[in-house]
Amino acid sequence: MILLGLNIDHCATVRQARYREAAATTGGAVEPDPVTLAVLGERAGADGITVHLREDRRHIQERDVWRLRECIATRLNLEMACNPAMTAFALKLKPATVCLVPENRDEISTEGGLDVVGNQKRVQACINAMTKAGIQTSLFIDPDEAQIELAAKLGAPIVELHTGAYANAYHSAKRAKEFQRLRLGCVRAHELGLVVNAGHGINYVNVTEVRTLPHVHEMNIGHSVISRALFTGIEEAVRELKARMAGQ
């Protein structure tokens, strides 16, 4: 069974749209509260909670992350930029996993995968620090052989293959090619002993194909499930997604 990492960033996006100041200080006193959403999501079957603490704090705030660590019953996966400030924060927080992602202030959401090849030293330093502290590191990378091989060489236990290019190509002629890239990426990562996760742009439609990728351990899904929850509530949205992930 493929696990669901529920990404709750966009619950915080809605909160920040109204309560930019209050959310950083009073957290749960303003709505919608991402921590409450996380707990309800877990109750409906989410296997882990994922948040991206961005440098510009545009959605998730530090206070949210600390509250999550206290309140959730599953695993906390902290997505973060690969830099000394975030590394220091993660070492204090001690989430179950950190997922290193590229960060660019102008992007609306994470766009390409992390360039491990071009940032080898920084990535290695972060992996080493996390390993020493008992935190598993996941690298969010494109399904590219060189990136996958270096991830394994640097000792990252997990890779999250970026499904965004595939999701964007879903309704076009490029879909089969992007799916094949992901398929080969999953096979290579598994051969190298890496745990293989997938994420970005997975929704209630394309999940039926993404679930057929080999060796996928967990999918990290945010936008589609938070969007669906506006109509059904988070519990129903999670139950429906998990059913589709299981091919039902």
Would you please indicate which residues are annotated as catalytic (active-site) residues?
52, 79, 200
The neighbour count for residue 129, using CB atoms within 10 Å, is 17
Task: Report in angstroms how near the CB of residue 26 gets to ligand PXP at its nearest.
Answer: 26
Task: Report in angstroms how near the CB of residue 221 gets to ligand PXP at its nearest.
Answer: 5
Nearer of residues 132 and 202 to ligand PXP, judged by Cβ: 202
| Cα–Cα distance, 143 to 186 (Å, whole number) | 8
Task: Report in angstroms how near the CB of residue 25 gets to ligand PXP at its nearest.
Answer: 25
Nearer of residues 76 and 101 to ligand PXP, judged by Cβ: 101
Q: Site residues (CB under 6 A) for ligand PXP? A: 7, 52, 79, 99, 101, 109-110, 140, 160, 199-202, 220-224
Task: Report in angstroms how near the CB of residue 232 gets to ligand PXP at its nearest.
Answer: 17
DSSP for 39-103, please give it.
HHHHHTT--EEEEE--TT-SS--HHHHHHHHHH-SSEEEEEE-SSHHHHHHHHHH--SEEEE---
Contacts of 205 (CB under 8 A, 6+ apart): 170
Q: In this structure, what DSSP letter does residue 133 have?
A: T
Nearer of residues 48 and 222 to ligand PXP, judged by Cβ: 222
Nearer of residues 35 and 101 to ligand PXP, judged by Cβ: 101
Phi, psi for 237 (deg, rounded to 5): -60, -40
Residues in the chain: 248
Nearer of residues 70 and 219 to ligand PXP, judged by Cβ: 219
Task: Please check whether residue 44 is in contact with residue 239, taking contact to mean a CB–CB distance below 8 angstroms.
Answer: yes
The distance of Cα 88 from the centroid of its chain, to the nearest Å, equals 20
| Cα–Cα distance, 191 to 195 (Å, whole number) | 10
Task: Report in angstroms how near the CB of residue 167 gets to ligand PXP at its nearest.
Answer: 7
